[in-house]
Structure 1
Amino acid sequence: MGQAVENESATPVSHKQVSISDPFWSYYIDLVRDVVVPYQWEALNDRVEGAEKSGAVSNFKIAAGLQQGDYYGMVFQDSDVAKWLEAAAYLLAARRDSALEQIADEMIDIIGLAQQEDGYLNTFYTVKEPENRWTNLTECHELYCAGHMMEAAVAYYEATGKRKLLDIMCRFADYIAEVFGDGPGQMPGYDGHQEIELALVKLYRATGNSKYLELSQYFVDERGQQPSFFEAETERRGGLSHWSGMPMKVDLPYFQAHLPVREQLTAAGHAVRVVYMLAGMADVAREKGDHTLFDACKRLWDNIVTKQMYITGAIGSMAQGEAFSVDYDLPNDTAYAETCASIGLIFFAHRMLQIEPDSRYADVLERALYNTVIAGMSRDGKSFFYVNPLEVSPAVCEGNNKNYNHVKPVRQEWFGCACCPPNIARLLASLGEYVYSVKGTVVYSHLYIGGKVDLSVGGATVGLSQSSGMPWSGDVRYEISVDRETSFELALRLPDWSESASVRVNGETLDLTGLVKDGYVRIEREWSNGDAVELSLEMPARRVRSHPLVKVNAGKVALQRGPLVYCAEEADNGAGIEQIVLPAKAELHVSFDASLAGGLNRITADALRLDYAEWGQSLYRSDASVRLKPERATFIPYYAWANRGKGEMAVWVKEQP
C-alpha cells in the first residue's frame, strides 16, 4: 500500500441537511418528485403504453414466488429497481410521503422474498440460470446489481431509519465476502462492470463494518492483475459470449482490466465503468489514506478532462463499446456521451473534491450537471436521451442507420437498457449533497444553488441561506446565522467561466489579494448572526475554441455563458445549420425568452450563411464560388434542445476570423 494521503479530507454535507429552494433547480427536483419517480415506477411495472417493456419489477415477483413467468430484459435489469428505490429514498429524506414510502416498503418486501437462503440476490440467476452463479462476472453484472441495491439500502436506511433493505444487503455483502478473496476455496475475481466498489464503502460508512471496506479494496486491487481472471473465466465457460452466443476474445481495456488500476495512465474502455471505478478508487483512497491510489485517480482525471471530455461535460466518444477512444478524438455527430457517464463523472468529481478541495473538480461537476445531465431528460420528465450528441441531422440519423443508430434526434419514452432515466432521478433527488462540504473550520460552497443548510463548525451551529441567480446571473448572496459569534472560513468557488469576481461582506467590498486558494475565495472572520456575503461573478457570453488536436472542431467555435454551453437549433435558424458562419468580432447579445423551456437566456449575433443558391446540381465544381449572406443566428442552452420537435442541432459552428 502507498503512503497516507497527507491532508485530512473534507466531509460532504449530507443532502438531508440541505433544503434547496432555487428558481432554476427546484423545478427539476419537484419534477423528479411529482412526475419522474411516479412515471418510472409505472415504466418499471410495464404500465406505460407505447414504452419499451421493462420487466424489472415482475422479475423480482417471479424470483420471490409471487408470480409465474419467465425472466425478461437485460441481465442487469435489477439495477433499475435499485436506482428507483435510491431516488425515492432521497425524496423521502427531504419530505416524508406516506404513499411513496408504502410503495417502496412493498417493493423491499418483495426483494426480501427474492433473496436466497445463503443471502444471494439476483433475479436473472435465480429465475433463469440458478446453476450458473458467479460463472460470468465478465459480462453479467452480478456484483454491479448488488452494488446498486447496496446504495439503495443505505439511502433508504438513512432516509427512513428502516433497516430491512439494509439488512438484506448486509446479508448479501457477507455472502459475497465469503465467495471472493485470496483465501482457501475463495474466488479471486471482480465484476465486469464496476459499481460494487463504491457501494461497499457506503455500506461500510453506514454500518461501521470494516469487512465491507476491505472487500471494496480487494476488488479495486484485484482488477487487472495477471494472469487475467476474465480470460480464465471465459475459457472455463467454453469461450462463448453471453450476449452473442459466439466465441469471444476478452477485450481487457474495455473492462479496465488490462493493467492494475494503480498503473493505468489513460482512461480506456467503457466510459461508465471507468468513472464508477474511479469513484470507488477515490473512496478507498480516502478511507485508507492511500496516496498511490489517489495519485492514480489524479492521473486518470487529468487524462479525461484535458484530452477526452466534451465541452458539455460528456465523456465516451465512441459508440462501439460506449467507450473512450484516443486522446482528442471527440466527434460531435457520432458521439456516444452517455448520460450515465456524465453522472458517473459527477460522482468521481465529487469524491476528488472532498479529498483535495480544488475548484477544478467542481468546475467539471458543474459543467456535466448543467449540460449533459439535464439535457438527458425532457422538460416534462417523461422522455430521455441515452446518448447526448453535440451535432444532429435527423435525415442522417435516420438514413444512415448503421453509423448513427445510437443517435436520436428526439428523446425516448423508455429504453430496453434503462440505466439513464433512474440515474438522472437519483442524482437530482440528492442534489443537495453536492453543494457544500466542510473541512475543519472551512465551509466550502461548490455550487451556487439557492437554499438553506445547517452545519456544525468548530462546535458552533452555523446556518447559511443562499440565494442565487444562476445560471442566468452571477449574483449570489449568503445570509449567516450563528448561535454565537464564531470564527470560520467561508470558501466560495471562482468558476473557470468567470474572469473576474467581487465579494462584499456586509456591504463592504473585499480586496481579494491573498484570499484565493485552489480556486476558492476564502473569507476568514468572526461571524455574527445576520452577516451577509455577496458574490458577483462576471458572466459574459464568450467564445470557446477546442485544443488544436481536436480535428473535428478546427475552425469552429462554441458559445458559453456561465456554466451553460449553447447550441444552434433548427427551430430558430432553419435547416442547414452547418452553413452558419459566426464572425470572430460579431457582438453576442443576451436576452431572456420566457416562452421556451420554462424561460432561458438566448444568445443572438449577426452572423453569415453560406449561400449555395447558384450551385446547381453538380456534386463537385472547380468553377464555383460560395457567397456569404447576412443572417441573424440564435443559440439556446444545450440542455434545452429537442423540446420543440425534431430538427438539426449543433454546438460547434464555423468561425470567420
Structure 2
Amino acid sequence: MSQPSKATAVPLKNVKITDAFWSRYIRLVNEVVLPYQWEVLNDRIPDAEPSHAVKNFRIAAGDEKGEFYGFVFQDTDIAKWLETVAYSLTISPNPELERTADEMIDLIARAQQPDGYLNTYFIIKAPERRWTNLREEHELYTAGHFIEAAVAYFQATGKRKLLDVLCRFVDLIEATFGTEPGKLRGYPGHQEIELALVKLYRATGEERYLRLSQYFLNERGREPFYFDLEYEKRGKTEHWPGHKDLGRTYAQTHLPVREQTTAVGHAVRAVYMYSAMADVARETNDQSMFDACKRLWQNMTTRQMYITGGIGSTSHGEAFTFDYDLPNDTMYTETCASVGLMMFAQRMLLMEEDRRYADVMEQALYNNLLSGMSQDGTRYFYVNPLEVWPEASAKSPIKKHVKPVRQKWYVCACCPPNLARLLTSLGQYMYTVRGDALFVHLYIGGEATVNVAGHSIGITQQTNYPWNGNVKLSLKMEQACQATIGLRIPGWCRTATLAVNGENIALDGSVMPQGYAKVTRTWQDGDMIELNFDMPVEIMQAHPHVRANVGKVAIMRGPVVYCIEEVENGSNLSAICLSQKAKLTATFDENLFGGAVIITGEAKRLDETDWDDVLYRPVSTQFKPITLTAIPYGLWGNRASGEMAVWLRAFNE
C-alpha cells in the first residue's frame, strides 16, 4: 500500500468517555437498553413483538420442547446483545450482567451440534436444509454476528468459551466452503461473516480465518453464478417467494468486488461488504481492493447519501436506487445501514487519514443513528425518514414503512441491538495511531491512553461538542517524546483556530493534508492543545439533480442537522417557507432532553384561508409571517406524534 506503516485503532479498553453529550447515551445503554432488550429477548415485554430468541436456544439445546419461532436469522439478536454486553463490560464492569451473559453462553454451547454447527433455525426446524440456500437463509450472516460477539467477549473478559464455540463452527465452515475438490464454492447472501473473520484472525492469529474471508470476497460475483446453481439444485424453491426476482445487484453479486464502482442493492449488505473489503485490503496490502473501496465510497457519499448520513433510498429491497434519487418521505435510511456506514468509514480511516471518512462517520453518528432510539432507550426506529406525515404513514401503501412513532420492538429486530453495540463501542472510533503519529477523528470528552512510537501518552479531551466548537486536549506522559498529532478540521467548518500552549498555529496547506492539522514537535507532560471551530447556523441546499429537494433548504449547525416538528410549528409543515438568507438564532435550551441547541428565526407560511371546497384556483399566493423553531434531527419524535420535516420550501427575499 502507499502508506509506510499500518494504522491501528486505539482499543476500547484504553478510552473512557466522560462527555456531557455522549455519556448519557452510553449510560442509557448500560442501565436501560441492555436490561430492556434482555427482557424482550425473553418475551417479557407486554405488547412488544415476541422475540423467542432465547427460547429457540433452549429448544435447540434440548432444555425445552417447542417449535422454532422468528426469522431464519433470529439468533443474531442474541449475538448482537452479547457483543453489546462485551463492550459494556469493557467500559463499565458489571458482575451481574456478566453472569447473565455467561449463562447465555453456556446455553449456546449446549445448543452447538457435535460437528460444530450452530444455528437454531436449522437445528430445530430444517436440519436437512443446511447450506442449501445461501442466497436467502442467512447461515453465514448469523455465524458472522456470533463471531463478532465471541471476539468482543473474549477481549472484554478473557473468557474463551464463546470464542472456542465459534472457532469450532468456523472450522466446519472452512471445511465446507472453498475452491478445493468436494467443497461448496458458495458465499453469503447477506454479507457479514467476511468482516467477522478478520476480527477472528486478529484475535487468534490464525491466518486461515483471514484466507477464508478473502475467499468469500473473491468468489462473489464470479461465473457460473452460485446462487442460480443452488436454486436449480434444490428444485427451484425459495425461502421468500420472489426473492430471486430482486436480481443480482440486491446482494452485490453482479460483478466481482474489485470491479464494482457504484453502490447498489441492499444498503446494509453493501456497507458490511465494503467494510470487509477495506479490512482485507489493509491486512493483505491489496491495492486493487482498496481502490474499489474508494470508488464505492465516493459514489455512495457524494451521490446516494442523505444529509443525515442515512443510506438506502427505497423500501423495496431496503436498497440504493440510483445517483441523486433521495426522496424524503418514502426512503428507507435504515438504522443498521448507518451503523455499517460508520464501520466502513472507520476502516477507511485506518487505510488513509482523510477527513472525508471521519466527516461522514460524524454525520451519521449525530443524526441518523441518534434518531434510531428514543430518549428513554425503550423504543426504536428501523426507518429514519426526513419527512413524516402521520396520516400518510397510516393510509398510503407506499409509506406504511415510515413510522411516525418509534416501536417497542420489531419482528425483524436487527436495528435496536445494532445501535446499542455501536454506542457502547464508540470509544474505539475516536483515535488511530500510525507509527509516530496520533490522529484525533471525533471530538468527544474523556480520557485515553495511547502508545505512540513506543511512548505511552495520556490524552484528555474537554468539550461541549456538538453544541459549541471549543475543544481542549491535554497531554500526560512520563517523558518527552517526538511525535505528530493530527487533528481533524471538520469539512463543515469554515473558520477554525489552533493553539498549542497558547501559541497560535496557522492552519494552512502545510499542516492540513487531507483535512488534518498535523503538529509535529517534542511533546511534554502538561502540553495543552486548543481548537475552536466556528459554528454558525448554515442554510443548506442539495445538488440540483436531487429532484426531491429542488427549491428547498435545510438547516445545519456544526455536524447537527435540524428538523421542524408539528409540536412547535403547527400542522401542514409543507406550507412553511424559509428564506435562503433567513436570520436564524442558535440558543441552548436546557429543558430539551437534558439540554440541546435549538434554532429559531423568521419564516413564512402559505395562507391557507379561503380554500374551503376549492381544490385548484389561479395563483394568488399569500404568506403570513411565523417564528420557526427547529430541533436536532436526532431528537425528533420524542414528544407528541406529529409531522416532521428536514427540507423546507425556500424563497428569495
> TM-score normalised by the shorter chain: which range applies?
over 0.9
SS in 1 for 2:634: helix
Task: Give, in whole Å, the separation in 2 of the partners of 1:407 and 1:174.
Answer: 42
1:388 and 2:384 matched: yes
Is 1:62 paired with 2:51? no
Q: Are the aligned partners of 1:378 and 1:411 in contact in 2 as well (CA < 8 Å)?
A: yes
Distance 2:55 2:335 in 1: 26
Match of 1:600 among 569, 584, 596: 596
Equivalent-residue separation in structure 1 for 2:31 and 2:572 (angstroms): 38
1:112 aligns with 2:109: yes
Deviations 1:342-366 (A, max 9, x none): 0000000000011011100000000
Partners of 1:593 and 1:94 in 2: CA distance: 30
| Counterpart for residue 212 of structure 1 | 209
- What are structure 1's unaligned runs of at least 5 residues? none
Residue 80 of structure 2: which of 83, 87, 107 is its match? 83
Contact 1:82 1:152 in 2 (8 A): yes
Mapped pair 1:338 → 2:340 = no
Partner Cα distance (2:117, 2:482) in 1: 51
CA distance in 2, matches of 1:574, 1:346: 35
TM-score by length of 1: 0.98
* Inter-CA distance 526–310: structure 2 relative to 1 (3 Å threshold): same
Q: 1:255 aligns with which of 251, 255, 269?
A: 251
| Deviation by residue 1:251-278 (Cα, 9 ceiling, x = unmatched) | 1110100111111111111000000000
Q: Which of 526, 530, 534 is residue 534 of structure 1 equivalent to?
A: 530
* % identical equivalent positions: 55
Give the secondary-structure state (helix, strand or coil) at the position aligned to 1:418: coil
By how many angstroms is 1:232 displaced?
1.1
Deviations, residues 607-656 of structure 1 (Å, cap 9, x unaligned): 1110020233121123x412011111111000010011210000000111
Structure 1 contact 239–248 (Cα < 8 Å) conserved:
no
Deviation readout 1:313-363 (Å, 9 max, x if unpaired): 000000000000110000000010000000000000000011011100000
SS in 1 for 2:73: coil
- 2:502 is the counterpart of 1:520: no
SS of residue paired to 1:241: coil
2:547 to 539, 542, 551: 551
| Aligned-partner Cα distance in 1 for 2:347–2:62 | 40
Deviation of the 1:574 alpha carbon: 0.4
SS state of the match for residue 249, structure 2?
A: helix
Does 1:266 pair with 2:262? yes
* Contact 2:194 2:217 (C-alpha < 8 Å) held by counterparts: yes
Q: 8 Å contact 2:6–2:435 — kept in the other structure?
A: no
Question: Could you tell me how far apart the structure 1 residues matched to 2:284 and 2:503 are?
Answer: 44
Q: Is 1:10 matched up with 2:3?
A: no
Q: How does 1:595-634 map to 2 (within 5 A)?
A: 595-622=591-618, 624-634=619-629
Paired letter, 1:539: M
Identify which of 313, 318, 335 aligns with 1:317.
313
1:250–1:333 CA distance, 2 compared to 1 (3 A)? closer
- SS of the aligned residue for 2:475 comes to strand
1:44 shift after superposition: 0.5
SS in 1 for 2:128: helix
**Match in the other structure for 1:458:** 453
- Structure 2 matches for 1:50-449, cutoff 5 A? 50-244=47-241, 248-249=244-245, 251-400=247-396, 402-449=397-444
| Distance in structure 2 (CA, Å) of the matches to 1:74 and 1:207 | 31
Alignment match, 2:490: 495
Is 287-296 or 228-237 further displaced after alignment? 228-237
CA contact (8 A) 2:246 2:317 kept: no
For residues 96-155 of structure 1, the C-alpha deviation after alignment (integer angstroms, 9 at most, x for no partner) is 211000000000000001111111100000000011100010001000000000000000
Task: Tell me the distance in 1 between the aligned counterparts of 2:583 and 2:243.
Answer: 59
Query: Does structure 2 retain, via aligned residues, the 8 Å contact 1:379–1:643?
Result: yes
The amino acid of 2:282's aligned partner reads R
- How far residue 240 of structure 1 moved from its aligned partner, in angstroms, is 2.2
Aligned length: 651
Task: Answer yes or no: is the 8 Å Cα contact 2:51–2:70 preserved in 1.
Answer: yes
Cα RMSD for the two superposed structures: 1.0
Tell me the secondary structure at the aligned position of residue 269 of structure 1.
coil
Give the unaligned 5+ runs of structure 2: none
| C-alpha deviation, 1:6, in angstroms | 4.5
Q: Which amino acid aligns with 2:138?
A: H
Letter in 2 for 1:72: Y
